[in-house]
Structure 1
């Protein structure tokens, strides 16, 4: 719409009312009311129709499905967390058991090392006792030492003449033959053996006589 603001009408020469006259772009008079017809937008709603608001809002079923999915995901995370905690607990328990076993092994190994270091002293005591030279205070000290080693660490002296030779616990340094024996027999004990429980600290070093 084009509004002609000239005070005088070019066609009649008369004075126009205040505000001028409105004309169409083709020069024709404006429609009643002086305002152009409002165009109707293509695809708009018809008269009396209202556009529904919130058409994109999720439905209750969608909300429930989403909540169930989140609940399942959280349950899965909790299950994984419990599994990880269980595995960690098992590894810790195994570590504690292994550490205790290793500590006990090292303790026994240390005791055996001390016993092995004392074997020369025990040999001297055994030799002195064999030659009846173990007397006086030295005899008391020697007895106390042997008693302590036996009671605390299970130390035992073994190897005697007349026993059957066992290569697991005896070490043969000499060997001879005789018709008087039917199996390999210890006839001479050069050094007694020592064991602590089931562990051989030192095998008995002996002379063996076997059958012809």
Structure 2
């Protein structure tokens, strides 16, 4: 069998080499070809790995410092929250006690007048005062004969007296109240001053 091309006009002609042929088109074709870079040496790879290791250590140290700072901020927040909660409870208790001061003054006045010596109202008043005292560390203060203390007493009047050697509470006009260590209201008193 003969091998005939399908189109006889398209015969393949051999390329003849000419001496002055332009090879510019070959340079353009080679420009698109990527030439693989030379493999890095062991020393270069080692140096690159050491730099990467140093960078990772630095990043880790920064991350640890950030975590420590965040942990400290959280601990401070928790500490402040607990203190704020305690302060808010104390402020709430003080506010309730301040609202009850007129009732407590009335109970004290009724007791001083002899109206709460016995009976159901006397029992209720006693129970109410004990509840405040036991549960909220509430205390009434200011009695005749106490040494005058400006932190706990408010002098509304002073009289000279030869019977005292230091400023002394001669008469309590209105009792003072404390809630724990906090003075809710100082006692209003008449003070006897030494002559």
TM-score class, shorter: 0.7 to 0.9
TM-score by length of 1: 0.73
Root-mean-square deviation (Å): 1.9
Distance 1:182 1:104 in 2: 42
TM-score by length of 2: 0.79
Match of residue 60 from structure 1: 42
> Residue by residue, what CA displacement relative to the aligned partner does 1:109-131 show, whole Å, maximum 9, x if unpaired?
01001011111111111111111
* Offset at residue 165 of structure 1 (A): 0.6
Match of residue 58 from structure 2: 76
Q: Name which one, 1 or 2, has greater alpha-carbon Rg.
A: 1
Moved more, 200-209 or 129-138: 129-138
Extract unaligned runs of 5+ from structure 2: 1-16, 20-35
Is 1:149 paired with 2:132?
A: yes
Output aligned runs, 1:48-127, within 5 Å.
Answer: 56-127=38-109
* Offset at residue 56 of structure 1 (A): 3.7
Q: Which has the higher helix share?
A: 2
> Residue by residue, what CA displacement relative to the aligned partner does 1:164-195 show, whole Å, maximum 9, x if unpaired?
11111000111100111111111111001100
Distance 1:58 1:79 in 2: 30
Output aligned runs, 1:122-133, within 5 Å.
Answer: 122-133=104-115
- Secondary structure at the aligned position of 2:150 is classed as coil
Distance 2:77 2:183 in 1: 30
Instruction: State the number of aligned residues.
Output: 164
* Offset at residue 57 of structure 1 (A): 2.9
Match of residue 190 from structure 1: 173
Note closer, same or farther for the CA distance 1:55–1:171 as it changes in structure 2 (3 Å cut).
closer
Match of residue 156 from structure 2: 173
Match of residue 22 from structure 1: none
Distance 1:182 1:89 in 2: 60
> Residue by residue, what CA displacement relative to the aligned partner does 1:60-94 show, whole Å, maximum 9, x if unpaired?
11111111111111111111111111111110111
- Secondary structure at the aligned position of 1:83 is classed as helix
Note closer, same or farther for the CA distance 1:36–1:200 as it changes in structure 2 (3 Å cut).
closer
- Secondary structure at the aligned position of 2:120 is classed as helix
Distance 2:37 2:136 in 1: 88
